[in-house]
Amino acid sequence: MSYDSVTATDVDPRAPGMHFLRDALDCENLGITLVEADDGWEGMEHDHAEDGQEEVYLLVDGSATLTVEGETVDLEPGDAVRVDGSDTRSLSFGADDSRMVIAGAP
């Protein structure tokens, strides 16, 4: 049996408020990110058409809006949304101290 552990906030953010944990956890097929954001934080629109990575967005605290292929999905704590790899998506937060976990895999 083998495992790796990390405290998310001990991982240096690669973008404001975004702690990418894949490398710290030595993941081979899974990406996982903790986002800590305040009201007005906006992520870039992107897709994963090249690698086929689908993503699940789970809002833990605060409020967020996920835009998928131009359709907005308002999220409250506990809401989760899965997005196909080929679909464009962007994320924004509407409350201070929002926290979201994003998991992705091909």
Query: 6-34, pLDDT tens digit by residue?
Result: 999 899 998 889 999 999 999 999 999 99
Assigned superfamily of 14-105: Jelly Rolls (2.60.120.10)
First to last CA, the chain: 24
State how far the Cα of 59 lies from the Cα of 77, in Å rounded to an integer: 5
State how far the Cα of 71 lies from the Cα of 73, in Å rounded to an integer: 7
Residue 5 has pLDDT above 90, yes or no: yes
State how far the Cα of 69 lies from the Cα of 88, in Å rounded to an integer: 5
CA dihedral 62, 43, 101, 55 (to 10 degrees): 130
The whole-number pLDDT of residue 52 equals 86
Residue 1 has pLDDT above 70, yes or no: no
What's the pTM?
A: 0.93
Token readout for 70 is 């131009």
Strand partners of residue 61: 99
Residue 68 has pLDDT above 90, yes or no: yes
Contact 8, 21 (CB under 8 A): yes
Q: How wide is the angle at C-alpha 91 spanned by C-alphas 68 and 98, nearest 5°?
A: 140
The whole-number pLDDT of residue 106 equals 77
How does pLDDT run across 75-106, given as a tens digit for each residue?
999 999 999 999 999 999 999 999 999 999 97
